[in-house]
Structure formats: structure tokens, C-alpha cells
Amino acid sequence: MTTHSARPPKGTAFDAWRNWRDHEGAEGIVAAGILAANARNVQPWRFAVDADDEGGARLRLYADLSRRQGALDPFDRELYVGLGCALENMVLAARARGFAPHVELLPDDGDPAHAATVRLERGEATASELYDAIPYRHTNRGPFRPQPMPEPLLQEIAGLGRADLPAPALLWFSEEKDRARVAEHLTAATEAIIADEDQSLAGHRWFRKSDRDIERSPDGMTVDTQGMPPLLSALGKRLPSPSRRTADRFWLRQTREVHLPTAAAFGMVTVPDATSLRDRIQGGRLLQRIHLFATARGLAVGHLNMMTVRADRERQTGQPPRFDSVLAELVGDPDRQTLVTFRIGHPAQPAAAAPRRSVAAVLR
Ligand SMILES: Cc1cc2nc3c(=O)[nH]c(=O)nc-3n(C[C@H](O)[C@H](O)[C@H](O)COP(=O)(O)O)c2cc1C
């Protein structure tokens, strides 16, 4: 496997990447779950494990609503997508470790925070390249090399969910003119987010600057994961914390000058109903598979959800639905809605690991 992934830094905030295979039984499945992609690294999950007498177990995955992103995710779209990402890692880990996982989504009508129950029965161990990619998958916010994505590869990625995730689908924007359209709207959405005081504040809340901050609170966004060359990252950590406005400007500049122009293609996961918790979880599962597949093949993924973030915010605040209209036009199918958007390509540099809370911290 070509991983293009740096080794996780020292420190307990990164132990989860190193010791995830050491956890046994159902806890080992949780250890895989917590390494999933999740918006702003808020890690919006809690888990419960009950062992049964036959060597199996019942695992419950819950939304942790105390870890909401506020104005950046006013209707919990991204929160449930992140739970779907975790669930996919858990299913892959269960199969690889000799369990047959039976997934029930949203099993409790009275409790939407109960996202899924996974019953684990003893079964055949099924290895997969996606499972093997779990500890190497990191969101890449650096530049990508100017190398196009071949059409057959895009088609292979689009087929990743088809067998057992029929609701979500993948839409590609790979031609230059289509990439330019998406890039223009993503820039406008980024500008709108940083011009919205509450959204800017909500993002800043999850910024962790020093190694001490990260050890104390192993979550959120760090300097090392911003995709800068290692020397600049090291310097960034020594300088005083940037003001919120400086950080916002940095993000806009990176978006405009690095993330958008170097993307080989943009992908959109679409679903029949982006407000449905079920569609969000299933879409998150597909997103995680895409990211793991990319990792296994030496490709990189960066998530760019500014358009949906703005569309949800406009709905929350009663503004005219500018980005809902943009998304509807990009999707071009009244029966499908954008769930999430990402860029893909060949990384120019490895991505750094983001911190994680431990299995013990998220088990209830
Ligand atoms: C639903 C969802 C939305 C995300 N949105 C963005 C985004 O707009 N910009 C970004 O840089 N990263 C985004 N991410 C990536 C997360 O920030 C990233 O997964 C998290 O920080 C953990 O890092 P890791 O993926 O390297 O483990 C998103 C991830 C998910 C699952």
C-alpha cells in the first residue's frame, strides 16, 4: 500500500492511531471507529458494548450532542455523516477480525441520538484493503500534484458503495470547466462563512494551537493538519496564536490558492434526502470508504463542505437560499441532494494525523 502518510506524532493524543490493533473483541471495533473522518474533528460519538454468552457482542453507537458544531452545522448534517464514517470503520474492522456484523440503523424511534446498533456474531475473518488503510487515512489539506484522475479510476471509486449502500451515490466534477464552476462556488461559500460572525466563532472554538492544548483536549483542528510544509508548521506552533480573523484569512487563502486549484477532481456524495438521518449515516459510510480507498491507492482526499454549511445556515437564519440553488444546479437531478463535497488527487506531501480521544473516553 502506498500510504503517503506521516507517522503519528508522539503523545497520548495520538496513541489511538498507534494502538488501535491492540484492543481486543468489541473494544477493538470501537478503536477502529474512532479513527474515522468527522467534521472539524469534534468526534461526535459515544459507544456502548454488551458482551453476549456466545463470544459475540452488541455495540451501540450514539451521537454525542454535547459536541455539536453550532452555527457551522445547525441541523446536525455533518454530525450524522461523521457517525456514518465511524460506523463504516467499525463494519470493516468487525469483518477483518472474524465477526459477522449485523447493522441496524436508528433502532430506537424515541431516541435519534442512538445512530446504530451493530450485533457481532462470530464469523469468517475477511481482510480488505479498506480495513488495512484505516490507520493511514488522514484528511490532506496540502497541495496535490498536477496529475489527472483517470476516468476508470473515478468509476471504480463511484462503485465503492453500490453493493450494500444503495441510497448514496457519487457525482464527479473532473473536467476543467466543471472544476472551475465548483471552485468558484466553494470560494464564495468560504467567504460567506468567515463573514458570518457566528460561523467564524464556531470554527475558532475547535482550534487547538499548542501541543499542551492538544494533550488536554485531543480533538479539533491543529496546526500540523493544515497542509503546510513541516518547517512552516513547526514555526506556526512557536508563534503566538493567530487572531480569529487571521486564521479565517489563512483558510480562505489556502482554499483559493491550494485546495481548489490543485484538486484533480471534486466529488459529491448525493442522497435522496439530505435531511434524513438514515441517508446521512449511509452517505457517511460511503464517504469513509472513498477516503480509505484513496489512501490504499496512494491518493489523497480533502473535505470541502462550505456550500452545504452555508445552505444549512441560510435555512436556519431565514436568508434567501443562495447555496441551496447552487447545489441543486450542480447536482442537476431533482431527486438527489448534495450531502458532502470533497477533493481528490495525488498528494504532494503526506498528511498529518489528527488527535483522538481514547476508546476509554468514549465508552459509556
Ligand atoms: C462530514 C464532514 C465534513 C467535513 N468538512 C470539512 C471541511 O469543510 N473542511 C476541511 O478541511 N475538513 C473537513 N472535514 C474533515 C475533518 O476535519 C477531519 O476528518 C477531521 O479533522 C479528522 O481528521 P482526519 O480525517 O485526518 O482523521 C470533514 C469531515 C467530515 C466527515
pLDDT of 55 above 90: no
pLDDT of 302 above 60: yes
Among the listed residues 302, 318, 306, 315, the one whose alpha carbon sits nearest the alpha carbon of residue 248: 306
Most informative mutation of 68, 134, 138, 139 for ligand 1 (most atoms within 8 A of CB): 139
Interatomic CA distance for residues 115 and 325, integer angstroms:
30
Q: Is the CB of 29 under 6 A from ligand 1?
A: no
Q: Is the CB of 303 under 6 A from ligand 1?
A: yes
User: If you measure from the C-alpha of residue 63 to the centroid of ligand 1, how many angstroms do you get, rounded to a whole number?
Assistant: 17
What is the average per-residue pLDDT within 36-50?
A: 98
Q: What b/e string do you get for 102-130 counting C-beta neighbours within 10 Å, with b at 16 or more?
A: ebebbeeeeeebbbbbbbbeeeeeeeeeb
Q: Is the CB of 305 under 6 A from ligand 1?
A: yes
Q: How confident is the model at residue 310 (pLDDT cuts 50, 70, 90)?
A: very high
Phi, psi dihedrals of residue 130, rounded to the nearest 5°: -70, -45
What's residue 4's pLDDT? 55
User: If you measure from the C-alpha of residue 59 to the centroid of ligand 1, how many angstroms do you get, rounded to a whole number?
Assistant: 25
User: If you measure from the C-alpha of residue 123 to the centroid of ligand 1, how many angstroms do you get, rounded to a whole number?
Assistant: 33
Express each pLDDT in 124-173 by its tens digit.
Answer: 999 899 999 999 999 999 999 999 999 999 999 999 987 778 889 999 99
Express each pLDDT in 61-88 by its tens digit.
Answer: 999 999 999 999 999 999 999 999 999 9
What's residue 212's pLDDT? 92
Among the listed residues 71, 64, 26, the one whose alpha carbon sits nearest the alpha carbon of residue 45: 64
CA distances from 178 to 105, 174, 263, 269, 311 (A): 35, 6, 12, 16, 20
Contact 307, 321 (CB under 8 A): no
What's residue 5's pLDDT? 64
State the CATH architecture for 12-135: 3-Layer(aba) Sandwich (3.40)
Closest C-alpha to ligand 1, atom 21: 41
Which helix (H) or strand (E) covers residue 108, if one does? none
Express each pLDDT in 202-261 by its tens digit.
Answer: 999 999 988 999 999 999 999 999 999 988 898 888 888 899 999 999 999 999 999 999
Closest C-alpha to ligand 1, atom 17: 40
Express each pLDDT in 95-120 by its tens digit.
Answer: 999 999 999 999 999 999 999 999 99
User: If you measure from the C-alpha of residue 260 to the centroid of ligand 1, how many angstroms do you get, rounded to a whole number?
Assistant: 16
CATH of domain 144-347: 3.40.109.10
Most informative mutation of 303, 307, 308, 323 for ligand 1 (most atoms within 8 A of CB): 303
Q: Where are the domains of the chain?
A: 12-135, 144-347
Q: How confident is the model at residue 1 (pLDDT cuts 50, 70, 90)?
A: low
Residue 4 grid cell: 503517503
* Coil vs helix vs strand at 202: helix
pLDDT of 9 above 90: no
CA distances from 106 to 29, 111, 167, 209, 321 (A): 19, 8, 16, 36, 30
The reply to whether domains 12-135 and 144-347 share a CATH topology is yes
